[in-house]
Amino acid sequence: MAAYVLRRLLLMIPTLLGIMLLNFLIVQAAPGGPIDQMLARFEGLSTQASTRLEGGGGDSAGGSGESRGSRGVPQQYIDRLETQFGFDEPAYQRFLDMLVDYATFDLGESFFRGEPVTKLMLERLPVSISLGLWTTLLVYLISIPLGIRKALRHGSRFDVWSSGLVIVGYAIPGFLFAILLIVLFAGGSYWDVFPLRGLTSPDFGELSSWGKVKDYFWHISLPVLASAIGSFATLTMLTKNSFLDEIHKQYVLTARAKGASDRRVLYGHVFRNAMLIIIAGLPSALVAIFFTGSLLIEVIFSLNGLGLLGFEAVMQRDYPVIFGTLYLYTLIGLILKLVSDLTYVWVDPRIDFETRES
């Protein structure tokens, strides 16, 4: 098993390099780079200043089609920006320098915030962990027992109406459900029960320990529910189908013929085999819930998490933040995939990946 783990770790290197190279090329080809963003800010400030001096009259220079120099942007300023952002070097050199820095987990410094990318991510990480952790727990604690129950009562009324509910939940986008929750329960049009934004109240530091716990869950309830609604259907139906497939296998019929109780058959024989496919999907579910699936939820509820940080970086063309978050997301995803394989072996020792590969 140690040789298998070592091979997987070594395979992560070319996989990570390939993903980083592909995204580097895509981002570099996108119009409106960081220098254009800085110049747009500079020209916007200049336009506002001239408008105020002229009493609001005159046309904006931004739409006149003039050159940057004629609009008051010195070439020296542009050259200084290129040197500051590293664009005075060829693209391949910038990519190689980035890989060398990333090998030591030096993710660079944000172009527009003036702070290390690592610091920015660590500041936002608790919010994403809070949202992702409670969403994952809620989804798994409800979906797995519900899926098992549906498998045991396959074709019954309970199976039919519960399938309808989870499919409707799956069909509603998370951000749309979040807006619906705000309208209903956050003072939108009906009840003002939950807060609209943030993870804690302004006076959070002055509350007692129990008050802090209540305030935290009071704020996190709607975002977690909005994040989890779309994940119930996938995991519930996956659990149901996995258990149905195992229940009709020969070893289950043999165990029942020997007089084993239904509980013994379900949890002593079926459960271990049926859970394998669910464990296989855990890494991708964690990455989706923790990092990508919470983007719009964080924006709607004004939660300063990693999803919102990545979205702002893309809009601002903040390359160090874009590539830094992408690097860590990819690395975490690859590691979780390896952890998934190791969990396979822990759940069912009969599985031997090393023998299968050879």
Once rounded to an integer, what is the mean pLDDT over residues 226-242?
A: 83
pLDDT on residue 45: 53
pLDDT on residue 195: 81
pLDDT in tens, 137-148: 888 889 888 988
Instruction: Give percent of the chain above pLDDT 70.
Output: 82
**37 burial class (0-12, 13-18, 19+ CB within 10 angstroms)?**
middle
Instruction: Give percent of the chain above pLDDT 90.
Output: 1
Q: Rounded distance, CA 68 to CA 64, Å?
A: 11
The CA-atom distances, in angstroms, between 39 and each of 34, 42, 162, 191 are 9, 5, 55, 46
pLDDT on residue 284: 63
pLDDT on residue 56: 46
pLDDT on residue 349: 66
118-357 classified as CATH 1.10.3720.10:
yes
Q: Which of 192 and 49 is assigned the larger pLDDT?
A: 192
pLDDT on residue 50: 45
- How does the average pLDDT of the chain come out, rounded? 78
The lowest-confidence range among 99-108, 155-164, 286-295 is 286-295
Amino acid at 94: R
Model confidence pTM above 0.75: no
pLDDT-derived band at 57, boundaries 50, 70, 90: very low
Q: Which of 32 and 134 is assigned the larger pLDDT?
A: 134
Q: Which of 7 and 357 is assigned the larger pLDDT?
A: 7
pLDDT on residue 229: 82
Q: Answer whether residue 47 shows pLDDT above 50.
A: no
Q: Rounded distance, CA 64 to CA 73, Å?
A: 15
Q: Rounded distance, CA 50 to CA 59, Å?
A: 10
Q: Which of 258 and 17 is assigned the larger pLDDT?
A: 17
pLDDT-derived band at 38, boundaries 50, 70, 90: confident
pLDDT on residue 115: 86
pLDDT on residue 356: 54
The lowest-confidence range among 92-106, 197-211, 335-349 is 335-349
Q: Answer for the pair 105, 200: CB distance below 8 angstroms, yes or no.
A: no
Q: Answer for the pair 220, 178: CB distance below 8 angstroms, yes or no.
A: no
Tell me, letter by letter, the H, E, C secondary structure of 254-301: HHHHCCCCHHHHHHHHHHHHHHHHHHHCHHHHHHHHHHHCCHHHHHHC
pLDDT in tens, 307-324: 788 888 888 888 888 888
Question: Which residue ranges make up each domain of the chain?
Answer: 118-357
pLDDT-derived band at 69, boundaries 50, 70, 90: very low
